[in-house]
Amino acid sequence: MGRLLVTGGAGFIGSNFIRHVVNQTDHHVTVIDALTYAGNRDSLAGLDEDRLTFVRGDITDAALVDRLFADTDAVVHCAAESHNDNALDDPRPFLHTNIVGTYTLLEAARRHGRRFHHISTDEVFGDLAFDASERFTERTPYNPSSPYAATKAGSDLLVRAWVRSFGVRATISNCSNNYGPYQHVEKFIPRQITNVIRGIRPKVYGRGENIRDWIHVDDHSSAVLTILDGGRIGETYMIGADGERSNTEVVELILELMGHRSDAYDHVTDRAGHDLRYAIDGTKLRTELGWSPRYGDFESGLADTIRWYRENESWWAESKDAVEAFYAARGQ
State the residues that interact with ligand DAU by CB under 6 A: 82-84, 121-123, 176-177, 187-188, 191, 203-205, 210, 212, 247, 271, 278
* Residue 14 interacting entry, from ligand NAD, ligand DAU, none, C-beta within 5 to 8 Å by type: ligand NAD
Determine contact, residues 7/14, Cβ cutoff 8 Å. Answer: yes
Count of positions on this chain that bind ligand NAD (CB under 6 A): 31
Site residues (CB under 6 A) for ligand NAD, limited to 284-313: none
Going residue by residue from 41 to 80, which x/- string records binding to ligand NAD, judged by CB under 6 A? Answer: -----------------xxx-----------------xxx
Smallest Cα–Cα separation from 291: which of 208, 202, 230? 230
Determine contact, residues 281/136, Cβ cutoff 8 Å. Answer: yes
Tell me how far apart the alpha carbons of residues 145 and 141 are, in angstroms, rounded to a whole number: 13
Whichever of 262 and 281 has its CB closer to ligand NAD, that residue is: 281
191 interacts with ligand NAD by CB under 6 A: no
Q: Which is the catalytic residue, given 33, 81, 85, 123? A: 123
Residue 96 CB-density burial (10 A; 0-12 exposed, 13-18 middle, 19+ buried): middle
Tell me how far apart the alpha carbons of residues 156 and 150 are, in angstroms, rounded to a whole number: 10
38 interacts with ligand NAD by CB under 6 A: yes
Spell 25-52 as b/e; 16+ CB within 10 A means b: bebbbbbbbbebebbbeebbeebeeeeb
Residues near ligand NAD (CB under 6 A) are: 8, 10-14, 32-36, 38-39, 58-60, 78-82, 97, 101, 119-121, 152, 175, 177-178, 184
Active-site annotation, residues: 122-123, 148
